[in-house]
Amino acid sequence: MASRLMEEYLKFIMDHAHSDVNALRLQYHGKSMPFSVDDACMQIEMRRKTAGKLPWFLHHPGFRFGTAQSAEQASNQNVALFHAFLIGHNRSVLDMTAGLGIDAMTIAMRGNRVTAFELETERVEALRHNADILGIDDLTVVKGDSVLHLQQSEEHYDWIFVDPARRDSGNNRCFLLHDSLPDVVSHQDLLLAHADNVLIKASPLLDITQTLRDFSNVRSIIILSYKNEVKEVLIHLSPGPASLVSSSPLSFSAEPEGEVKLPSSPLIQAIDLADGAPAFPDGAPAVRFRFIAGGATQAAISYATSEAIAPGIYLYEAGAAMRKLQCASQICARYTDIKSLAKDSGLFVSETLHADFPGRICTVKAILSAKQLKALKDNHCRVVSSCYPMSAADLRKKFRLKEGEDMTLYATTTRDGSRIMILATS
C-alpha cells in the first residue's frame, strides 16, 4: 500500500475507532474509496477486541490484523512473554503455526532467531508488515506448510514452538491434540528429530493423563493461567535425558533457588501470571504463584469437619489452574492451618487470613438452612457447585438467584458427607 494511501487508511481507522462498524459499512456501502472499508472496519473491530491483551502492539497505529480469526486466537502479550522466557535467548526457533505472530514476534524480540510458517496469505502479509513497522529483524516469515518443511529439510532448531489449530479439517472446534492441525501426536518423532526442545501450546481442557500416554518424551507440563483463568496447557518435549534438561528455562522457579529440581519423571506444575503489566518485551513475566504436582514430600491433606465451618472464618476457592492440577496436598503443606472441605472440591477454610492464597478469598457469612435459602430469592449472587449433586445453573434456577458478584453461594459436600450451603462475601 502506497505511503499516501496508507496514511488515509490509518486515519480512517483512528477517526472511527469508537464508531459502530456496522453503521460504517452501511454508510460507505457502494461508495468509491481508495481502500477496502470492510477491511478497515475489521481492523477497528479487532483493535477493540484485543485492546486488553495486545496493548504494546496496538500502541503502534500501523499494526494490522490479517484476519479476524487470527486476532481472536492470538496469545495475550503477557502469555507470549512467558513463552519467550521459557525459550531463553540466542536460540534458533521454528514457529510452526504463526497466525497473528504475537508469539513469534515476542520470541524474536527477546534475542532469538525465529522462522515462522503460516499457510494463509493474509496472515503472512500482515505478519511481515507488523514485523517491519515494529523493527523486528530476526524474524523470517514463510508462507507454507511447516510439517512439509520438516519432512523435506535437514534444518535443526534449538526450539520448535507449535500452537496447533483447535479446529479440524472441517472447521469444527476440537480439543484433542490428535484432531488438531498439525497433528503433533502423530508427528512428534519428526519434531524431535529437528529440535532439541519442542514446546506445544494446547487447549486448557487438555487431559494431562492422556497426554502422558500420547507422548514419549514429556519433560514438563505447565497449566498456565492469567488473572486466574486457565489459558493453555504447555507441553515440553525433549529427546535428551532429564539431566540435560535440568538447566532448561522450563525448570525456572518463582520459589527460593534450590527448592525445586527437575525430576526424571515429567514436572507438572500450575503457574498463574500476575495481573501487573511487565516491561514488555524486555521484562520477566510476573508470576503470582507456582505449584508443583506430586513430589517425594507429598503432604497429607488436612480436612475440615462441617462443624468447623462457621461465620467469620476465611473460605478459599482455589484458582482454575490449581483445580486442574488438584493441588489440595500442596496447598495444605504450604498453608499449615488451611483445611480442605473435600479432596477435589477446591475449597478450603482457615481461621487466619492468607492473602497470598492462589485463588479467591472470602469470609463465611452464614451456613444456610433451607428456609434461609428460600429467603435469598432475587438476590444478586455468584453460585459455585463443587462436589454437590446439583449444578450451579440448576441451583440458581431453583432458588431464583440473579447474576451478580455481591455474594457467593457455595454448594458443597464435606469429606464427612455433609451437604452444606455456605454464603460468603469477598
**What are the domain boundaries of the chain?**
3-50, 71-292, 306-425
pLDDT band at residue 155 using 50, 70 and 90 as cut-offs? very high
> Does position 255 have pLDDT exceeding 50, yes or no?
no
> Does position 21 have pLDDT exceeding 80, yes or no?
yes
Lookup: cell for 170: 472441517
Predicted pLDDT of residue 122:
96
Is pLDDT larger for residue 382 or for residue 169? 382
Q: Give the mean model confidence (pLDDT) for residues 301-309.
A: 90
Q: How far is CA 91 from CA 99, 152, 218, 228, 371, in A?
A: 21, 22, 20, 31, 64
Q: Kindly report the pTM of this predicted structure.
A: 0.85
C-alpha 279/C-alpha 281 separation (Å) is: 6
Is pLDDT larger for residue 257 or for residue 249? 249
In the chain, what percentage of residues exceed pLDDT 90?
A: 69
242: Cα separation from own chain's centroid:
26
Question: In this structure, which long-range contacts are made by residues 376-379, counting pairs with CB atoms below 8 Å and at least 24 apart in sequence?
Answer: 376/401, 376/409, 376/423, 377/401, 378/402, 379/404, 379/406, 379/407
333-343 burial, b at 16+ Cβ within 10 Å, e below that, comes to bbbeebbbbbe
Class of domain 71-292: alpha beta
Predicted pLDDT of residue 240:
67
151, amino acid identity? Q
Q: Give the mean model confidence (pLDDT) for residues 64-80.
A: 94
| 305 touches 416 (CB < 8 A) | yes
* Tens of pLDDT, residues 361-394: 999 999 999 899 999 999 999 999 999 999 999 9
pLDDT band at residue 249 using 50, 70 and 90 as cut-offs? very low
Lookup: cell for 288: 503470582
> Does position 87 have pLDDT exceeding 60, yes or no?
yes
Of all residues in the chain, what percent are helix, strand and coil, respectively (each to 5)? 30, 25, 45
pLDDT band at residue 16 using 50, 70 and 90 as cut-offs? very high
Is pLDDT larger for residue 407 or for residue 246? 407
> Does position 304 have pLDDT exceeding 80, yes or no?
yes
Q: Give the mean model confidence (pLDDT) for residues 266-282.
A: 85
H-state helical runs in 194-319: 208-214, 242-245
pLDDT band at residue 238 using 50, 70 and 90 as cut-offs? very high
Place of cell 527437575: 262
Q: Three-state SS for 411? A: strand
pLDDT band at residue 263 using 50, 70 and 90 as cut-offs? very low
* Tens of pLDDT, residues 106-149: 999 999 999 999 999 999 999 999 999 999 999 999 999 999 99
DSSP bridge pairs for 160: 94, 198
> Does position 253 have pLDDT exceeding 50, yes or no?
no
User: To 10 degrees, the CA torsion angle through 68, 70, 76, 82?
Assistant: -170
Q: Three-state SS for 57? A: helix
> Does position 314 have pLDDT exceeding 90, yes or no?
yes
* Tens of pLDDT, residues 190-209: 999 999 999 999 999 899 98
DSSP bridge pairs for 224: 232, 271
Predicted pLDDT of residue 245:
40
Predicted pLDDT of residue 243:
37
298, amino acid identity? Q
Query: Mean pLDDT over all residues of the chain?
Result: 88
Which of 81-95, 267-281, 360-374 is predicted with the least confidence, judged by mean pLDDT?
A: 267-281
> Checking DSSP bridges between strand 139-143 and strand 113-118, what pairing results, if any?
parallel
pLDDT band at residue 338 using 50, 70 and 90 as cut-offs? very high
Predicted pLDDT of residue 175:
66
Question: Which of 339, 335, 337, 355 has its CA nearest to residue 347?
Answer: 339
> Checking DSSP bridges between strand 157-162 and strand 92-95, what pairing results, if any?
parallel
Lookup: cell for 407: 455474594
| 71 touches 120 (CB < 8 A) | no
